[in-house]
Structure 1
Protein backbone atom coordinates (compact mmCIF):
# COMPACT_ATOMS: atom_id res chain seq x y z
CA UNK A 1 0.00 0.00 0.00
CA UNK A 2 1.44 3.25 -1.10
CA UNK A 3 2.36 5.91 1.39
CA UNK A 4 0.47 9.16 0.98
CA UNK A 5 2.42 12.36 1.03
CA UNK A 6 1.41 14.74 3.75
CA UNK A 7 1.00 18.35 2.58
CA UNK A 8 1.51 21.40 4.79
CA UNK A 9 -1.49 23.67 4.95
CA UNK A 10 -1.08 26.59 2.48
CA UNK A 11 -0.23 29.86 4.22
CA UNK A 12 -1.83 33.07 2.94
CA UNK A 13 0.65 35.97 2.58
CA UNK A 14 -0.56 39.61 2.72
CA UNK A 15 0.15 41.86 -0.25
CA UNK A 16 3.01 44.19 0.79
CA UNK A 17 3.40 46.10 -2.47
CA UNK A 18 1.94 49.23 -0.79
CA UNK A 19 5.12 49.60 1.24
CA UNK A 20 7.08 50.91 -1.74
CA UNK A 21 4.98 54.00 -2.50
CA UNK A 22 4.54 54.59 1.24
CA UNK A 23 8.31 54.61 1.71
CA UNK A 24 8.70 56.95 -1.25
CA UNK A 25 6.08 59.28 0.24
CA UNK A 26 7.88 59.38 3.59
CA UNK A 27 11.15 60.10 1.82
CA UNK A 28 9.58 62.96 -0.12
CA UNK A 29 7.98 64.38 3.04
CA UNK A 30 11.34 64.26 4.79
CA UNK A 31 12.96 66.03 1.87
CA UNK A 32 10.19 68.67 1.91
CA UNK A 33 10.68 69.39 5.63
CA UNK A 34 14.42 69.65 5.18
CA UNK A 35 14.02 72.08 2.27
CA UNK A 36 11.53 74.22 4.23
CA UNK A 37 13.94 74.36 7.14
CA UNK A 38 16.78 75.32 4.82
CA UNK A 39 14.68 78.12 3.31
CA UNK A 40 14.19 79.63 6.75
CA UNK A 41 17.91 79.53 7.54
CA UNK A 42 20.20 82.52 6.82
CA UNK A 43 23.02 80.51 5.32
CA UNK A 44 22.19 80.78 1.63
CA UNK A 45 25.32 78.99 0.57
CA UNK A 46 24.38 75.82 2.47
CA UNK A 47 20.85 75.99 1.13
CA UNK A 48 22.10 76.14 -2.43
CA UNK A 49 24.33 73.11 -1.82
CA UNK A 50 21.44 71.19 -0.23
CA UNK A 51 19.12 72.14 -3.08
CA UNK A 52 21.58 70.77 -5.64
CA UNK A 53 21.96 67.52 -3.66
CA UNK A 54 18.19 66.92 -3.50
CA UNK A 55 17.78 67.75 -7.14
CA UNK A 56 20.33 65.09 -7.98
CA UNK A 57 18.88 62.46 -5.62
CA UNK A 58 15.14 62.95 -6.12
CA UNK A 59 14.76 64.24 -9.62
CA UNK A 60 16.25 63.95 -13.03
CA UNK A 61 18.11 67.24 -12.76
CA UNK A 62 15.31 69.50 -13.95
CA UNK A 63 15.98 71.92 -11.12
CA UNK A 64 12.72 71.54 -9.17
CA UNK A 65 14.41 72.90 -6.03
CA UNK A 66 16.50 75.53 -7.76
CA UNK A 67 15.80 78.88 -6.06
CA UNK A 68 19.01 80.68 -6.91
CA UNK A 69 17.22 83.56 -8.59
CA UNK A 70 14.60 83.91 -5.85
CA UNK A 71 16.96 84.38 -2.94
CA UNK A 72 19.68 87.07 -2.99
CA UNK A 73 23.19 85.94 -2.25
CA UNK A 74 25.32 87.37 0.53
CA UNK A 75 27.46 89.01 -2.13
CA UNK A 76 24.50 90.90 -3.60
CA UNK A 77 23.28 91.93 -0.15
CA UNK A 78 26.71 93.26 0.74
CA UNK A 79 26.92 95.13 -2.58
CA UNK A 80 23.51 96.76 -2.05
CA UNK A 81 24.41 97.76 1.48
CA UNK A 82 27.69 99.25 0.28
CA UNK A 83 25.95 101.25 -2.47
CA UNK A 84 23.40 102.58 0.03
CA UNK A 85 26.15 103.68 2.40
CA UNK A 86 28.04 105.36 -0.46
CA UNK A 87 24.88 107.28 -1.46
CA UNK A 88 24.41 108.51 2.11
CA UNK A 89 28.03 109.69 2.29
CA UNK A 90 27.79 111.32 -1.14
CA UNK A 91 24.63 113.23 -0.20
CA UNK A 92 26.19 114.35 3.07
CA UNK A 93 29.28 115.62 1.21
CA UNK A 94 27.12 117.51 -1.29
CA UNK A 95 25.10 119.12 1.49
CA UNK A 96 28.26 120.10 3.33
CA UNK A 97 29.76 121.59 0.17
CA UNK A 98 26.55 123.51 -0.54
CA UNK A 99 26.53 124.93 2.99
CA UNK A 100 30.14 126.05 2.62
CA UNK A 101 29.38 127.74 -0.72
CA UNK A 102 26.32 129.46 0.74
CA UNK A 103 28.41 130.72 3.63
CA UNK A 104 31.06 132.07 1.26
CA UNK A 105 28.37 133.72 -0.84
CA UNK A 106 26.93 135.42 2.24
CA UNK A 107 30.38 136.77 3.10
CA UNK A 108 30.87 138.04 -0.49
CA UNK A 109 27.58 139.89 -0.58
CA UNK A 110 28.06 141.38 2.87
CA UNK A 111 31.50 142.61 1.80
CA UNK A 112 30.08 144.19 -1.37
CA UNK A 113 27.26 145.82 0.59
CA UNK A 114 29.72 147.41 3.03
CA UNK A 115 31.75 148.81 0.13
CA UNK A 116 28.63 150.26 -1.49
CA UNK A 117 27.38 151.75 1.78
CA UNK A 118 30.77 153.35 2.39
CA UNK A 119 30.78 154.84 -1.13
CA UNK A 120 27.28 156.22 -0.62
CA UNK A 121 28.26 157.79 2.69
CA UNK A 122 31.55 159.25 1.43
CA UNK A 123 29.86 160.88 -1.58
CA UNK A 124 26.82 162.25 0.24
CA UNK A 125 24.38 160.06 -1.73
CA UNK A 126 22.35 158.74 1.19
CA UNK A 127 19.14 160.37 -0.08
CA UNK A 128 19.58 158.99 -3.60
CA UNK A 129 20.92 155.45 -3.11
CA UNK A 130 20.39 152.58 -0.68
CA UNK A 131 21.25 148.89 -0.47
CA UNK A 132 19.30 145.90 0.76
CA UNK A 133 20.53 142.34 1.32
CA UNK A 134 18.06 139.49 1.73
CA UNK A 135 17.92 135.74 1.09
CA UNK A 136 17.53 136.12 -2.67
CA UNK A 137 19.73 139.05 -3.67
CA UNK A 138 21.67 142.21 -2.91
CA UNK A 139 19.80 145.18 -4.39
CA UNK A 140 21.20 148.65 -5.08
CA UNK A 141 18.34 151.14 -5.48
CA UNK A 142 19.17 154.39 -7.31
CA UNK A 143 16.71 157.29 -7.47
CA UNK A 144 15.96 158.53 -10.97
CA UNK A 145 17.04 162.03 -9.88
CA UNK A 146 20.57 160.71 -9.41
CA UNK A 147 20.74 159.48 -13.00
CA UNK A 148 18.26 161.07 -15.39
CA UNK A 149 16.51 164.27 -16.30
CA UNK A 150 12.71 164.14 -16.10
CA UNK A 151 11.22 161.97 -18.85
CA UNK A 152 14.67 161.02 -20.20
CA UNK A 153 16.67 157.78 -20.25
CA UNK A 154 20.03 159.43 -20.96
CA UNK A 155 22.34 159.12 -17.95
CA UNK A 156 23.57 162.54 -16.77
CA UNK A 157 27.28 163.09 -17.46
CA UNK A 158 27.97 163.73 -13.76
CA UNK A 159 26.19 160.46 -12.88
CA UNK A 160 28.30 158.22 -15.11
CA UNK A 161 30.95 158.16 -12.39
CA UNK A 162 28.42 156.47 -10.09
CA UNK A 163 27.83 153.70 -12.63
CA UNK A 164 31.58 153.21 -13.09
CA UNK A 165 32.12 153.03 -9.32
CA UNK A 166 29.44 150.33 -9.02
CA UNK A 167 30.94 148.37 -11.92
CA UNK A 168 34.38 148.44 -10.27
CA UNK A 169 32.90 146.91 -7.12
CA UNK A 170 30.99 144.28 -9.10
CA UNK A 171 34.15 143.11 -10.87
CA UNK A 172 35.36 141.60 -7.57
CA UNK A 173 32.54 139.05 -7.87
CA UNK A 174 32.34 138.24 -11.59
CA UNK A 175 30.41 134.96 -11.30
CA UNK A 176 27.15 136.44 -10.03
CA UNK A 177 24.17 137.15 -12.29
CA UNK A 178 23.07 140.80 -12.28
CA UNK A 179 19.65 142.19 -13.21
CA UNK A 180 19.23 145.91 -13.95
CA UNK A 181 15.56 146.92 -13.75
CA UNK A 182 13.79 150.19 -14.52
CA UNK A 183 10.75 151.52 -12.60
CA UNK A 184 8.52 154.58 -12.94
CA UNK A 185 5.63 156.16 -11.08
CA UNK A 186 2.07 155.92 -12.40
CA UNK A 187 1.98 159.34 -14.06
CA UNK A 188 1.43 158.94 -17.83
CA UNK A 189 4.47 159.86 -19.90
CA UNK A 190 3.91 163.05 -21.88
CA UNK A 191 6.59 163.46 -24.52
CA UNK A 192 7.16 162.38 -28.11
CA UNK A 193 10.10 160.08 -27.31
CA UNK A 194 8.27 157.47 -25.21
CA UNK A 195 4.80 156.08 -25.73
CA UNK A 196 4.47 154.62 -22.22
CA UNK A 197 6.16 154.18 -18.87
CA UNK A 198 7.15 150.68 -20.04
CA UNK A 199 9.32 152.19 -22.76
CA UNK A 200 10.88 154.77 -20.45
CA UNK A 201 11.71 152.23 -17.71
CA UNK A 202 13.13 149.82 -20.31
CA UNK A 203 15.44 152.43 -21.84
CA UNK A 204 16.66 153.65 -18.45
CA UNK A 205 17.61 150.13 -17.35
CA UNK A 206 19.32 149.40 -20.66
CA UNK A 207 21.33 152.65 -20.75
CA UNK A 208 22.55 152.24 -17.18
CA UNK A 209 23.52 148.59 -17.81
CA UNK A 210 25.54 149.61 -20.87
CA UNK A 211 27.61 151.99 -18.76
CA UNK A 212 28.25 149.23 -16.22
CA UNK A 213 29.46 146.96 -19.02
CA UNK A 214 32.00 149.47 -20.22
CA UNK A 215 34.16 147.77 -17.61
CA UNK A 216 35.89 145.01 -19.65
CA UNK A 217 36.31 142.87 -16.52
CA UNK A 218 32.56 142.27 -16.33
CA UNK A 219 30.95 139.41 -18.27
CA UNK A 220 27.98 140.65 -20.37
CA UNK A 221 26.44 137.14 -20.31
CA UNK A 222 25.83 137.62 -16.58
CA UNK A 223 23.78 140.79 -17.08
CA UNK A 224 20.11 141.28 -17.92
CA UNK A 225 18.01 144.44 -18.21
CA UNK A 226 14.27 144.47 -17.62
CA UNK A 227 11.40 146.95 -17.38
CA UNK A 228 8.64 147.04 -14.77
CA UNK A 229 7.09 150.38 -15.65
CA UNK A 230 4.77 151.60 -12.89
CA UNK A 231 3.69 148.15 -11.74
CA UNK A 232 6.17 147.43 -8.91
CA UNK A 233 5.87 150.50 -6.67
CA UNK A 234 7.67 150.65 -3.32
CA UNK A 235 5.61 153.59 -2.05
CA UNK A 236 2.28 155.27 -2.66
CA UNK A 237 1.76 157.12 -5.91
CA UNK A 238 -0.66 159.50 -4.18
CA UNK A 239 2.12 161.87 -3.03
CA UNK A 240 5.11 163.55 -4.63
CA UNK A 241 7.46 161.87 -2.15
CA UNK A 242 5.98 158.43 -2.88
CA UNK A 243 6.20 158.89 -6.64
CA UNK A 244 9.82 160.00 -6.30
CA UNK A 245 10.65 156.72 -4.52
CA UNK A 246 8.94 154.71 -7.25
CA UNK A 247 11.01 156.32 -10.03
CA UNK A 248 14.19 154.30 -9.72
CA UNK A 249 16.73 151.91 -11.23
CA UNK A 250 17.60 148.75 -9.31
CA UNK A 251 20.78 146.71 -9.72
CA UNK A 252 20.22 143.25 -8.22
CA UNK A 253 23.07 140.78 -7.59
CA UNK A 254 21.39 137.39 -7.41
CA UNK A 255 22.33 134.61 -5.01
CA UNK A 256 23.30 131.23 -6.40
CA UNK A 257 22.73 129.28 -3.18
CA UNK A 258 20.02 129.30 -0.56
CA UNK A 259 21.41 130.83 2.58
CA UNK A 260 20.67 129.28 5.98
CA UNK A 261 21.22 132.61 7.64
CA UNK A 262 18.32 134.78 8.65
CA UNK A 263 17.16 137.44 6.21
CA UNK A 264 19.11 140.65 6.52
CA UNK A 265 17.61 143.95 5.44
CA UNK A 266 19.78 147.04 5.82
CA UNK A 267 19.22 150.41 4.21
CA UNK A 268 22.14 152.76 3.75
CA UNK A 269 21.69 156.22 5.29
Structure 2
Protein backbone atom coordinates (compact mmCIF):
# COMPACT_ATOMS: atom_id res chain seq x y z
CA UNK A 1 0.00 0.00 0.00
CA UNK A 2 1.34 3.37 -0.96
CA UNK A 3 2.19 6.03 1.53
CA UNK A 4 -0.56 8.30 0.11
CA UNK A 5 -3.28 5.66 0.56
CA UNK A 6 -2.20 4.96 4.13
CA UNK A 7 -2.35 8.68 4.83
CA UNK A 8 -5.89 9.02 3.46
CA UNK A 9 -7.18 6.02 5.52
CA UNK A 10 -5.58 7.40 8.68
CA UNK A 11 -7.26 10.78 8.13
CA UNK A 12 -10.66 9.07 7.57
CA UNK A 13 -10.31 6.96 10.75
CA UNK A 14 -9.33 10.00 12.76
CA UNK A 15 -12.32 11.90 11.33
CA UNK A 16 -14.67 9.07 12.36
CA UNK A 17 -13.18 8.91 15.85
CA UNK A 18 -13.55 12.65 16.30
CA UNK A 19 -17.31 12.45 15.56
CA UNK A 20 -18.01 9.41 17.73
CA UNK A 21 -18.05 11.48 20.92
CA UNK A 22 -21.13 13.29 19.66
CA UNK A 23 -23.24 10.15 20.09
CA UNK A 24 -22.19 9.68 23.71
CA UNK A 25 -22.59 13.39 24.39
CA UNK A 26 -26.15 13.39 23.00
CA UNK A 27 -27.07 10.37 25.12
CA UNK A 28 -25.66 12.04 28.22
CA UNK A 29 -27.61 15.26 27.57
CA UNK A 30 -30.84 13.27 27.14
CA UNK A 31 -30.30 11.41 30.41
CA UNK A 32 -29.48 14.66 32.23
CA UNK A 33 -32.62 16.29 30.87
CA UNK A 34 -34.74 13.38 32.08
CA UNK A 35 -33.07 13.58 35.49
CA UNK A 36 -33.75 17.31 35.79
CA UNK A 37 -37.40 16.81 34.80
CA UNK A 38 -37.83 14.12 37.45
CA UNK A 39 -36.19 16.31 40.08
CA UNK A 40 -38.35 19.24 39.08
CA UNK A 41 -41.54 17.17 39.15
CA UNK A 42 -40.72 15.97 42.68
CA UNK A 43 -40.29 19.51 43.94
CA UNK A 44 -42.96 22.06 44.79
CA UNK A 45 -43.14 24.99 42.42
CA UNK A 46 -42.89 28.39 44.07
CA UNK A 47 -45.01 30.65 41.88
CA UNK A 48 -43.05 33.79 42.82
CA UNK A 49 -39.69 32.16 42.11
CA UNK A 50 -41.08 30.72 38.89
CA UNK A 51 -42.09 34.19 37.73
CA UNK A 52 -38.62 35.51 38.59
CA UNK A 53 -37.08 32.68 36.60
CA UNK A 54 -39.25 33.47 33.58
CA UNK A 55 -38.30 37.14 33.70
CA UNK A 56 -34.63 36.31 34.12
CA UNK A 57 -34.62 33.94 31.16
CA UNK A 58 -36.48 36.46 29.04
CA UNK A 59 -33.89 39.15 29.70
CA UNK A 60 -30.96 36.73 29.41
CA UNK A 61 -32.03 35.55 25.97
CA UNK A 62 -32.87 39.02 24.74
CA UNK A 63 -36.62 38.46 24.64
CA UNK A 64 -39.04 41.18 25.61
CA UNK A 65 -40.47 40.61 29.11
CA UNK A 66 -43.91 41.56 27.87
CA UNK A 67 -44.03 38.39 25.83
CA UNK A 68 -43.89 36.30 28.99
CA UNK A 69 -46.25 38.43 31.06
CA UNK A 70 -49.50 36.69 31.93
CA UNK A 71 -50.17 33.15 30.76
CA UNK A 72 -47.45 31.45 28.74
CA UNK A 73 -48.18 30.27 25.17
CA UNK A 74 -48.00 26.68 26.38
CA UNK A 75 -50.49 27.27 29.18
CA UNK A 76 -52.83 28.99 26.71
CA UNK A 77 -52.65 26.08 24.32
CA UNK A 78 -53.43 23.63 27.13
CA UNK A 79 -56.14 25.78 28.63
CA UNK A 80 -54.42 26.00 32.01
CA UNK A 81 -52.83 28.82 34.00
CA UNK A 82 -51.00 26.53 36.46
CA UNK A 83 -47.30 27.58 36.49
CA UNK A 84 -46.23 24.08 37.49
CA UNK A 85 -48.06 22.49 34.55
CA UNK A 86 -46.68 25.11 32.18
CA UNK A 87 -43.14 24.50 33.45
CA UNK A 88 -43.59 20.76 33.04
CA UNK A 89 -44.76 21.18 29.44
CA UNK A 90 -41.91 23.56 28.67
CA UNK A 91 -39.33 21.11 29.98
CA UNK A 92 -40.93 18.13 28.30
CA UNK A 93 -40.87 19.97 25.00
CA UNK A 94 -37.06 20.03 25.19
CA UNK A 95 -36.85 16.22 25.26
CA UNK A 96 -36.41 14.51 21.89
CA UNK A 97 -39.74 13.17 20.71
CA UNK A 98 -38.46 9.60 20.68
CA UNK A 99 -37.67 9.86 24.40
CA UNK A 100 -40.84 11.61 25.60
CA UNK A 101 -42.85 8.45 26.26
CA UNK A 102 -40.06 7.07 28.44
CA UNK A 103 -39.65 10.34 30.32
CA UNK A 104 -43.43 10.58 30.85
CA UNK A 105 -43.51 7.08 32.34
CA UNK A 106 -40.62 7.96 34.63
CA UNK A 107 -42.48 11.06 35.82
CA UNK A 108 -45.74 9.16 36.36
CA UNK A 109 -43.92 6.58 38.45
CA UNK A 110 -42.26 9.38 40.38
CA UNK A 111 -45.67 10.94 41.10
CA UNK A 112 -47.04 7.60 42.25
CA UNK A 113 -44.13 7.04 44.62
CA UNK A 114 -44.40 10.58 45.95
CA UNK A 115 -48.12 10.15 46.64
CA UNK A 116 -47.48 6.85 48.41
CA UNK A 117 -44.79 8.49 50.51
CA UNK A 118 -47.07 11.41 51.43
CA UNK A 119 -49.88 9.03 52.38
CA UNK A 120 -47.51 6.98 54.53
CA UNK A 121 -46.24 10.11 56.26
CA UNK A 122 -49.83 11.27 56.85
CA UNK A 123 -50.70 7.91 58.41
CA UNK A 124 -47.61 8.09 60.64
CA UNK A 125 -48.53 11.62 61.76
CA UNK A 126 -52.08 10.53 62.56
CA UNK A 127 -50.72 7.63 64.61
CA UNK A 128 -48.48 10.04 66.53
CA UNK A 129 -51.31 12.47 67.24
CA UNK A 130 -53.53 9.61 68.36
CA UNK A 131 -50.92 8.72 70.96
CA UNK A 132 -51.10 12.31 72.21
CA UNK A 133 -54.88 12.03 72.36
CA UNK A 134 -54.75 8.75 74.28
CA UNK A 135 -52.67 10.43 76.96
CA UNK A 136 -55.18 13.29 77.19
CA UNK A 137 -58.08 10.85 77.20
CA UNK A 138 -56.53 8.81 80.02
CA UNK A 139 -55.96 11.90 82.14
CA UNK A 140 -59.53 13.13 81.61
CA UNK A 141 -61.03 9.76 82.51
CA UNK A 142 -59.01 9.64 85.72
CA UNK A 143 -60.57 12.98 86.71
CA UNK A 144 -64.08 12.08 85.55
CA UNK A 145 -64.01 14.84 82.91
CA UNK A 146 -64.09 12.82 79.69
CA UNK A 147 -67.62 13.95 78.72
CA UNK A 148 -66.50 17.59 78.63
CA UNK A 149 -64.27 17.01 75.61
CA UNK A 150 -64.69 15.99 71.98
CA UNK A 151 -61.69 15.27 69.75
CA UNK A 152 -60.83 14.60 66.13
CA UNK A 153 -57.91 14.82 63.69
CA UNK A 154 -58.03 16.83 60.48
CA UNK A 155 -55.59 18.56 58.14
CA UNK A 156 -54.64 20.99 60.89
CA UNK A 157 -53.69 18.42 63.50
CA UNK A 158 -55.30 17.18 66.73
CA UNK A 159 -58.44 19.14 67.68
CA UNK A 160 -59.60 18.88 71.30
CA UNK A 161 -62.91 20.71 71.82
CA UNK A 162 -63.95 21.92 75.27
CA UNK A 163 -67.69 21.47 74.90
CA UNK A 164 -70.15 22.88 77.35
CA UNK A 165 -72.10 19.77 78.29
CA UNK A 166 -71.19 20.52 81.90
CA UNK A 167 -71.23 24.31 81.49
CA UNK A 168 -67.58 24.92 80.72
CA UNK A 169 -68.63 28.51 79.94
CA UNK A 170 -71.51 30.36 81.55
CA UNK A 171 -73.79 32.32 79.17
CA UNK A 172 -72.21 35.62 78.03
CA UNK A 173 -69.07 34.91 80.10
CA UNK A 174 -65.55 34.41 78.75
CA UNK A 175 -64.02 32.98 81.93
CA UNK A 176 -63.98 29.23 82.47
CA UNK A 177 -66.10 27.78 85.24
CA UNK A 178 -64.45 25.79 88.01
CA UNK A 179 -65.11 22.62 86.05
CA UNK A 180 -63.75 24.20 82.88
CA UNK A 181 -60.53 25.13 84.67
CA UNK A 182 -60.21 21.52 85.85
CA UNK A 183 -60.52 20.34 82.24
CA UNK A 184 -57.80 22.72 81.01
CA UNK A 185 -55.55 21.88 83.97
CA UNK A 186 -55.92 18.17 83.19
CA UNK A 187 -55.01 18.60 79.51
CA UNK A 188 -52.19 21.11 80.03
CA UNK A 189 -49.47 18.71 81.32
CA UNK A 190 -49.68 16.72 78.08
CA UNK A 191 -49.52 19.89 75.98
CA UNK A 192 -46.50 21.10 77.96
CA UNK A 193 -44.45 18.10 76.86
CA UNK A 194 -45.11 18.74 73.16
CA UNK A 195 -43.18 21.06 70.84
CA UNK A 196 -45.92 21.94 68.33
CA UNK A 197 -47.67 25.33 68.25
CA UNK A 198 -51.06 25.39 69.99
CA UNK A 199 -54.00 27.35 68.63
CA UNK A 200 -57.02 28.29 70.78
CA UNK A 201 -60.17 28.83 68.72
CA UNK A 202 -63.11 30.45 70.54
CA UNK A 203 -66.72 29.88 69.47
CA UNK A 204 -70.20 30.96 70.53
CA UNK A 205 -73.50 29.22 69.84
CA UNK A 206 -75.81 30.17 66.99
CA UNK A 207 -78.54 31.94 68.95
CA UNK A 208 -79.26 35.39 67.40
CA UNK A 209 -78.79 37.33 70.64
CA UNK A 210 -76.27 40.01 71.50
CA UNK A 211 -73.82 39.12 74.30
CA UNK A 212 -74.49 41.02 77.51
CA UNK A 213 -70.93 42.21 78.15
CA UNK A 214 -69.42 42.32 74.62
CA UNK A 215 -70.22 44.27 71.44
CA UNK A 216 -70.80 41.03 69.50
CA UNK A 217 -70.19 37.31 69.61
CA UNK A 218 -66.87 37.85 67.80
CA UNK A 219 -65.38 39.59 70.81
CA UNK A 220 -66.89 37.04 73.19
CA UNK A 221 -65.46 34.07 71.27
CA UNK A 222 -62.01 35.67 71.12
CA UNK A 223 -62.14 36.49 74.84
CA UNK A 224 -62.90 32.85 75.61
CA UNK A 225 -59.93 31.68 73.54
CA UNK A 226 -57.66 34.27 75.16
CA UNK A 227 -58.80 33.20 78.63
CA UNK A 228 -57.75 29.59 77.94
CA UNK A 229 -54.49 30.85 76.40
CA UNK A 230 -53.64 32.82 79.54
CA UNK A 231 -54.33 29.82 81.75
CA UNK A 232 -51.96 27.67 79.69
CA UNK A 233 -49.29 30.37 79.73
CA UNK A 234 -49.64 31.73 83.27
CA UNK A 235 -50.53 28.59 85.22
CA UNK A 236 -48.75 25.92 83.19
CA UNK A 237 -45.73 27.80 81.79
CA UNK A 238 -46.39 26.96 78.14
CA UNK A 239 -44.26 29.50 76.21
CA UNK A 240 -46.21 32.33 74.62
CA UNK A 241 -44.42 31.73 71.30
CA UNK A 242 -46.27 28.40 71.04
CA UNK A 243 -49.69 29.93 71.66
CA UNK A 244 -52.16 31.93 69.58
CA UNK A 245 -55.85 32.75 70.01
CA UNK A 246 -58.56 33.22 67.38
CA UNK A 247 -62.29 34.00 67.63
CA UNK A 248 -64.81 32.61 65.15
CA UNK A 249 -68.04 33.86 66.71
CA UNK A 250 -70.98 31.69 65.67
CA UNK A 251 -69.61 30.83 62.20
CA UNK A 252 -68.21 27.33 62.86
CA UNK A 253 -70.69 25.15 64.77
CA UNK A 254 -69.42 21.77 65.92
CA UNK A 255 -72.82 20.13 65.40
CA UNK A 256 -75.94 21.12 63.46
CA UNK A 257 -77.49 24.15 65.24
CA UNK A 258 -80.94 22.67 64.58
CA UNK A 259 -80.22 19.72 66.89
CA UNK A 260 -81.57 19.84 70.40
CA UNK A 261 -78.83 20.72 72.87
CA UNK A 262 -76.45 21.94 70.15
CA UNK A 263 -76.03 25.33 71.87
CA UNK A 264 -74.26 23.73 74.80
CA UNK A 265 -71.77 22.02 72.47
CA UNK A 266 -71.18 24.76 69.91
CA UNK A 267 -70.33 27.21 72.69
CA UNK A 268 -66.74 26.07 73.19
CA UNK A 269 -63.00 26.56 72.80
CA UNK A 270 -61.03 24.25 70.50
CA UNK A 271 -57.45 23.42 71.50
CA UNK A 272 -55.49 22.59 68.34
CA UNK A 273 -52.14 20.82 68.38
CA UNK A 274 -50.95 22.07 65.00
CA UNK A 275 -49.11 19.50 62.89
CA UNK A 276 -45.80 20.69 61.48
CA UNK A 277 -45.77 18.26 58.56
CA UNK A 278 -45.54 19.63 54.99
CA UNK A 279 -48.79 20.82 53.42
CA UNK A 280 -48.82 17.83 51.06
CA UNK A 281 -48.82 15.46 54.04
CA UNK A 282 -51.33 17.45 56.11
CA UNK A 283 -53.80 17.48 53.23
CA UNK A 284 -54.04 13.67 53.51
CA UNK A 285 -54.33 13.46 57.30
CA UNK A 286 -58.13 13.63 57.39
CA UNK A 287 -58.33 10.79 54.88
CA UNK A 288 -55.76 8.74 56.80
CA UNK A 289 -57.68 9.31 60.04
CA UNK A 290 -60.96 8.14 58.48
CA UNK A 291 -59.23 5.01 57.13
CA UNK A 292 -57.77 4.27 60.54
CA UNK A 293 -61.18 4.65 62.20
CA UNK A 294 -62.74 2.21 59.75
CA UNK A 295 -59.93 -0.32 60.17
CA UNK A 296 -60.16 -0.11 63.96
CA UNK A 297 -63.94 -0.26 64.06
CA UNK A 298 -63.82 3.06 65.96
CA UNK A 299 -62.47 1.26 69.06
CA UNK A 300 -60.34 3.52 71.21
CA UNK A 301 -60.46 6.44 68.78
CA UNK A 302 -61.60 9.99 69.57
CA UNK A 303 -65.34 10.63 69.46
CA UNK A 304 -66.61 12.06 66.21
CA UNK A 305 -67.59 15.70 66.77
CA UNK A 306 -69.98 15.65 63.84
CA UNK A 307 -72.64 13.97 65.96
CA UNK A 308 -73.24 11.21 63.43
CA UNK A 309 -73.55 8.43 65.94
CA UNK A 310 -69.90 7.46 66.18
CA UNK A 311 -69.51 9.26 69.48
CA UNK A 312 -71.74 10.20 72.38
CA UNK A 313 -74.79 12.28 71.56
CA UNK A 314 -73.95 15.92 72.33
CA UNK A 315 -77.42 16.42 73.74
CA UNK A 316 -77.34 13.33 75.96
CA UNK A 317 -76.27 13.31 79.59
CA UNK A 318 -75.87 17.06 79.81
CA UNK A 319 -75.65 18.36 83.34
CA UNK A 320 -76.09 21.87 84.62
CA UNK A 321 -78.80 24.37 83.73
CA UNK A 322 -80.83 23.87 80.60
CA UNK A 323 -82.65 26.49 78.60
CA UNK A 324 -85.53 26.32 76.14
CA UNK A 325 -84.43 26.99 72.58
CA UNK A 326 -84.05 30.70 72.01
CA UNK A 327 -83.08 31.42 75.62
CA UNK A 328 -79.67 29.76 75.77
CA UNK A 329 -77.29 32.66 75.32
CA UNK A 330 -73.84 32.80 73.74
Which TM class, normalised by the smaller chain length? 0.5 to 0.7
The answer to whether the 8 A contact 1:167-1:213 is kept is no
Q: How many residues in Structure 1 have an aligned counterpart in Structure 2?
A: 204
- In structure 2, the gaps of 5 or more residues are 1-7, 44-109, 294-301, 304-310, 313-330
CA distance in structure 2 between the partners assigned to 1:141 and 1:217 by the alignment: 21
CA distance in structure 1 between the partners assigned to 2:246 and 2:211 by the alignment: 22
- RMSD of aligned alpha carbons: 4.1
Shift of 1:182: 0.8
Q: Whose radius of gyration is greater, 1 or 2?
A: 1
- Matched position secondary structure for 1:263: helix
Aligned to 1:263: 289
Aligned to 2:184: 163
The answer to whether the 8 A contact 2:148-2:183 is kept is no
Aligned to 1:224: 244
The answer to whether the 8 A contact 2:192-2:236 is kept is no
- Matched position secondary structure for 1:41: helix
TM-score (norm: length of structure 2):
0.50
CA distance in structure 2 between the partners assigned to 1:103 and 1:239 by the alignment: 33
Q: Does residue 1:211 correspond to 2:231, yes or no?
A: yes
Q: Does residue 1:40 correspond to 2:66, yes or no?
A: no
Alignment of 1:108-187 (within 5 A): 108-144=128-164, 145-173=166-194, 175-187=195-207
CA distance in structure 1 between the partners assigned to 2:167 and 2:264 by the alignment: 11
The answer to whether the 8 A contact 1:176-1:256 is kept is yes
Deviates more, 1:198-207 or 1:181-190: 181-190
The answer to whether the 8 A contact 1:131-1:139 is kept is yes
- Matched position secondary structure for 1:195: coil
Shift of 1:208: 1.0
CA distance in structure 1 between the partners assigned to 2:167 and 2:193 by the alignment: 24
Structure 2 CA distance for partners of 1:198 and 1:32, relative to 1, 3 Å: farther
Aligned to 1:18: none
TM-score (norm: length of structure 1):
0.60
CA distance in structure 1 between the partners assigned to 2:141 and 2:178 by the alignment: 21
CA distance in structure 2 between the partners assigned to 1:31 and 1:240 by the alignment: 99
Shift of 1:236: 2.5
- In structure 1, the gaps of 5 or more residues are 1-28, 45-70
CA distance in structure 1 between the partners assigned to 2:274 and 2:229 by the alignment: 15
| 1:203-259 C-alpha deviation (Å, 9 max, x unpaired) | 011101110112554221111110111111122323441222211110011111126
Shift of 1:142: 0.9
Alignment of 1:31-70 (within 5 A): 37-42=16-21
Q: Identify which of 274, 279, 284 aligns with 1:254.
A: 274
Shift of 1:102: 6.3
CA distance in structure 2 between the partners assigned to 1:241 and 1:100 by the alignment: 39
Deviates more, 1:107-116 or 1:220-229: 107-116
Aligned to 1:56: none
